[in-house]
């Protein structure tokens, strides 16, 4: 199910009931491989009305403690410190993609030709991201990576002189935009 390190961290962030719901949802996702709320509620193993199961899952997913900063960042930071030495070079990709009406700005760590998501934001508009949004996202992840040299990779959307100047000011950040 989940690695022990993940479990240890999640237990500190969630109460027993919340941790149990999360465990069940992860098992359902792994078994059935879909993310539709209604389907998850339909398969959720609790003998209450369907609508009650759906609302229970919705309330769980709306918990203030379920954020990338509280759940994912500590796990990611622990993984970084175990896998890479201080001052080692990390390759970070910034990319924006659009799936239908979903416009997503993503920052990922490149490892063995794979992108490991670090942080993302759903953009509330269509089209490219702006400099302020890019800086805000990068400002959230740079503290996680402060002990490492970073190479930021970005496609033509990110070839901004202002972004390059800002990256130069951050220290320990190289870039290829």
For 66-83, how does the pLDDT look when each residue is reduced to its tens digit (9 = 90+)? 999 999 999 999 999 999
E-assigned strands of 49-158?
89-99, 102-111, 114-123, 149-154
* Per-residue confidence band for 111, with pLDDT thresholds at 50, 70 and 90: very high
Residue 1 has pLDDT above 80, yes or no: no
pTM: 0.82
Segment 55-73 mean pLDDT: 93
| Residue pair 129/140 in contact by the 8 Å Cβ criterion | no
Phi-psi region of 21 (alpha: psi -120 to 50; beta: other; left: phi over 0): alpha
| Residue pair 158/94 in contact by the 8 Å Cβ criterion | yes
Q: What is the pLDDT of residue 32?
A: 85
Q: What is the pLDDT of residue 15?
A: 93
| Residue pair 19/10 in contact by the 8 Å Cβ criterion | yes
Compute the mean pLDDT over every residue in the chain, rounded to the nearest whole number.
92
* Per-residue confidence band for 88, with pLDDT thresholds at 50, 70 and 90: very high
Residue 84 has pLDDT above 90, yes or no: yes
| Residue pair 124/62 in contact by the 8 Å Cβ criterion | no
Segment 99-103 mean pLDDT: 87
Residue 85 has pLDDT above 90, yes or no: yes
Residue 45 has pLDDT above 80, yes or no: yes
User: Which H/E stretch holds residue 9?
Assistant: helix 4-13
């Amino acid at each position: 199910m989940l690695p022990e390190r993940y479990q240890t961290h999640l237990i500190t962030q969630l109460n027993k009931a919340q941790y149990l719901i999360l465990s069940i949802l992860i098992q359902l996702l792994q078994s059935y491989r879909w993310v539709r709320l209604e389907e998850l509620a339909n398969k959720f193993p609790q003998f209450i009305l369907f609508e009650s199961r759906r609302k229970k899952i919705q309330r769980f997913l709306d918990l203030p403690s379920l954020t990338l900063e509280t759940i994912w960042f500590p796990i990611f930071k622990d993984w970084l410190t175990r896998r890479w030495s201080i001052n080692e070079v990390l390759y970070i990709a910034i990319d924006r993609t659009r799936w239908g009406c979903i416009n997503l700005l993503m920052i990922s760590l490149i490892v063995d030709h794979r992108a490991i998501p670090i942080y993302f934001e759903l953009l509330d508009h269509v089209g490219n991201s702006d400099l302020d949004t890019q800086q805000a996202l990068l400002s959230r992840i740079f503290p996680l990576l402060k002990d490492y040299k970073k190479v930021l990779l970005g496609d033509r959307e990110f070839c901004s002189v202002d972004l390059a100047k800002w990256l130069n000011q951050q220290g320990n950040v190289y870039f290829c935009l």
